[in-house]
Structure formats: structure tokens, C-alpha cells
Amino acid sequence: EELRADGLYLLPGAIDSHVHFRDPGYPRKENWKSGSAAAACGGVTTVFDMPNTNPPTGTLEALRLKQKAAESSYVDYGIHGLFGDDTVDRLEELLEGGVTSFKAFVGNTFGNLPAPSDGALLEGFEKLAPLGIRTVVHAENSSIMARRQQRLQDAGRNDALAHLASRPAVCEIEAIGRVLALAEWTGARVHIAHHSAADSLFVLREAKRRGVDVTVETCPQYLLLNTGDTGRLGGILRLNPPIREARHNQPLWDALMEGVIDMIATDHAPHTPEEKTRDSIWDCDCGFPGVETQMPLMLTEINRERATLMDYVRWSSVNPAKAWGLYGAKGVIAPGAHADIAVVDMARGGVLSQGRLHSLSRISPWHGRTVRGVPLHTLVRGRFVMRDGNLVEEAAGWGRSVKAVQRMPAPRPRNADSYTSAVLATPEGAPPARPLEMM
Ligand code: NCD
Ligand code: ZN
Ligand code: ZN
């Protein structure tokens, strides 16, 4: 057999900070085995799973159920624990139990988990800041959204554009600003999930300039789709935050180049085809699968010279590894690093087909899209999990938690007065309050 290497590149496997593998809780939508198979076939070697499962990952018992489910994973994984009003007292316990990080749903979305109050955010950030642990935030203002949505529903507006109008970008500006103010005050590390809008980039740029340790992800759907696609796709395209107008696409690319946005994640959010195609847009579940299609979609744009392959590696592997304390062990091809590798064929093309996805949610807005640049083989810690484009089924269960190799760098010392320690610590243990030192 002829060995051909033209067009082949060795990339560090992608690290996807944002997937919903739905396990435990929603077996018709996804499970760890199907979700991680999709990751393996998408060149993704590490995923971070979101806590809006059932039960939500906010107690040790729920965490144990998720860890059990994750034993069938093809790829390595981190687990985001739930950050909410009633879990703030359990953050340390959850960390000891094995979560790598936390997720705060500041904005209503699938699973209907209540948003943490601002008071709980402040308390939790004060606890996590000295530990250097990063919190993912879904940052949208729910009160604006809920009222908008009610008005549109009352007016009988069942179309896709009404859904978009219910979530104006000011929802992001307000919630991101609020979260970043608390992050700066406490010195906590935060991560903005699925950043969708050009209008809110200025808040992030300013926070980074001020030295706030905030990392930011965007997703292929915000870079490549826009309201021009909503007529064609309807409820399939319904997700939180919404696909926005075309004017947002290029500024998100520019922000990636500038470093205001650090990385690509997918927000892999599987639902069944039935749940995505109901008559009214308001009855369609939000989100769609993405972990298997991210790499081909992005490599296609690299082939179109929108960025270089090195830029892509920074966004897919290097920066997420740094954000989650894995850099050195993962996110890089180097001596001493895990052999987490995606071998990609930049010359091979094809048409994405939802019927061939490994996710149980075989309904995708990318169906029928032509790509060029695909992963051919995926290795996790030296073992093939996809070979010649085929899932290596015996590799189910090879995935491990990344907790063992996670090393968050020490946080910068802060001088912020300590609300939580002042209120909750024993009198003799409470540090003296000092004024906030401006940077
Ligand atoms: C996500 C889901 O389905 O879990 N849905 C979505 O539209 N993005 C939840 C989320 O990330 O907000
Ligand atoms: Zn979200
Ligand atoms: Zn999500």
C-alpha cells in the first residue's frame, strides 16, 4: 500500500472547554460513550463536561454518577462542577471529589438551573480566587431575556428571528460586565462561555487590559453562521446565546487574532431531532452538537487563509490547555507531554452529513456543508481512538480525568477587602480589611 503524507499535519489534539454529554440524565440526547466517540472522531482529545445534567453536578453524589458515566469515555476529560447559591458551601468538597473547575449559569438555559445571586458569585469567587480555580460563566442577563421572550410570545411571534430578538447583545454586555467586576474585585479566574457578540468585546478587552484573569471562548457557529441562515434552519439553529447578524462574524475573528478571544470551544449541546423541529420555535430545545465538526469547519477556514494553522493550534489546544492548568502535559507536542495528537489531512475534502455523526443527536446546522481539512487519526495518550477516519471501538473507556495532571498556576495576590472572610471567618482568623489597590 502506498504511503502518502502530502497534506498531512500533526496537531496537538483539540481541547474543548464546553461540551454537554448529558450523562447522567438525558440518555436520548447523548451519553458519555456517544459524545466522546464524536470527540475522538473530531480530533478532540480532551473535553470539559458541563454540569446541567440530571442530577446537576453540584453534590458529591451527582459527581460520583458523572464520574461513573465518564468511565466509558474515549477521550480525556475535565468536569465542571455547578456553581450556584446552594453549592457555594460545597465548592471545596467538589474540588476534592474531582471537579477541575466550575460553571455558573448567569442566564437561563437548558436544565433551568437558577442563576447564582450576585452575592453568591462574590462569595464563591472569594473562595476560588486563592485556589486559582477558574469558573466558566454563561453570561446573559435573564431578566431582560425573560421579559423580551414573554412579549414576543404574547404577540404570537413564533419565528426564529423573534427568538434572536429575545436575547439582545446588551444581555451579554451587562452580565459580562457584572461578572468581571466581581472577578476583578476578588482576583478570581473566570472564563466566558460561548461569546457571541461583537458589541460586548469592548468589556473583555478592557478587563484584560486591567489585568483581570479572564479567558474567553467562541464557537464555530458564531464565527461562521448568522441570521441569514435562520430562515433555512429554523429551530435547528435555536441556541443560547443566539446566532447573530452577519456584522458580528468578522469582529469575532479579529478578536481571536487580537487575543481578546482566546479559544474555540463547541458548546456541543445535543438534543433529539424531534426536540429540534417542533412547530413553534419556542418549543425547540436550545443548542446542537458540535464536537465532531469543529475541526473540519475551522481547518476549512485555515485553507481559505482566514488564519494560519499555528493560529488554529493556539485557539484549539494551547490556550485551553493554559486556561485549565494542563499546558505542558497537554495542548502541545513536546517531550514529556501526553501524545494527544490529531493527524489532519488538509487536502482531503468532503460534505458534512448529520447522519454520519457519532453523537446521538444527528441533527446539525452544518449538514450539507463542504469542508476541506479533516482529522484522519486521533491519539489520546499514545493510543488510537480514531484511525483512518474510523472510531476505534475497543478504545472506549481509555479516557481519564485530567485532574491528576492539572496544575493551576498560583494566583496573583490581591488586596481586595474580603467580604466573605470578614463575614464567615472566625474573628481571630479574619484578615484585616484593606482598600482595593487599583492596578
Ligand atoms: C446548552 C444546552 O443545551 O445544554 N444549550 C445552548 O443553547 N447553548 C446550554 C448552554 O450552554 O447554555
Ligand atoms: Zn451556556
Ligand atoms: Zn453550553
Q: Is the CB of 377 under 6 A from ligand 1?
A: no
Distance from residue 421's CA to the centre of ligand 2 (Å): 30
Beta-sheet strands, E only, within 159-220: 189-192, 214-218
Question: Shortest CA distance to 185 belongs to which of 433, 404, 356, 15?
Answer: 433
121 close to ligand 1 (CB < 6 Angstrom):
no
**Res 433: pLDDT:** 47
| 20 Cβ below 6 A of ligand 1 | yes
Say what the pLDDT of residue 439 is. Answer: 40
If you ran DSSP here, which 8-state letter would residue 411 be given? P
The pLDDT of residue 3: 63
156: CA distance to ligand 2 center in Å? 26
Question: What pLDDT is stored for residue 76 in this prediction?
Answer: 99
Give the pLDDT confidence of 69-115 residue by residue, as tens digits: 999 999 999 999 999 999 999 999 999 999 999 999 998 888 889 99
Residue 378 DSSP SS3? strand
| Ligand 1 atom closest to the CA of 286, numbered from 1 | 7
Statement: residue 423 has pLDDT above 70: no
Tens of pLDDT, residue by residue over 192-239, are 999 999 999 999 999 999 999 999 999 999 999 999 999 889 999 999
Which value does ipTM take for this structure? 0.98
How far, in Å, from the CA of 303 to the mean position of ligand 1?
30
* pLDDT grade for 427, boundaries at 50, 70 and 90: low
Ligand 1 pocket, residue 235 CB under 6 Å? no
Distance of CA 3 to the CA centre of its chain: 37
Mean pLDDT value of segment 353-359: 98
Mean pLDDT of 406-413: 89
Q: Is 138 in the pocket of ligand 1 (CB under 6 A)?
A: yes
DSSP class of 35: H
Q: Which three cell numbers stand for residue 177?
A: 460586565
Q: Which pTM value belongs to this model?
A: 0.94
> 214-223 burial by CB neighbour count: b if 16+ within 10 A, else e?
bbbbbbbbbb
pLDDT digits (tens, 9 = 90+) for 229-240: 998 899 999 999
Burial class (CB in 10 A: 0-12, 13-18, 19+), 156: exposed
* CA distances from residue 220 to 189, 226, 265, 397 in whole angstroms, order as listed: 24, 11, 8, 28
Contact 198, 326 (CB under 8 A): no
Q: What is the atom index within ligand 1 of the atom nearest the CA of 22? A: 4
Distance (Å, whole) CA 309 – CA 315? 10
Q: Which of 237, 267, 285 to mutate to test the pocket of ligand 1 (most atoms within 8 A of CB)?
A: 267
Q: In what order do the strands lie in the sheet with 8-12?
A: 8-12, 341-351, 370-380, 383-387, 390-391
53 close to ligand 1 (CB < 6 Angstrom): no
Is residue 110 in contact with ligand 1, taking CB distance under 6 Å? yes
CA distances from 76 to 48, 335, 342 (A): 9, 19, 14
Whether ligand 1 lies within 6 angstroms of the CB of 196 is answered as: no
Q: Is the CB of 17 under 6 A from ligand 1?
A: no
Ligand 1 atom 11 nearest Cα: 267
Ligand nearest to the CA of 267: 3
pLDDT value of residue 419: 47
HSE, CB side, 13 Å, CA atoms: give it for residue 7.
16
> What 3-state class would DSSP assign to 190?
strand
Q: Which ligand is nearest to the CA of 286?
A: 1
Looking at the CA of residue 111, tell me the nearest atom of ligand 1: 4
Please indicate whether residue 379, judged by its CB atom, sits closer than 6 Å to ligand 1.
Answer: no
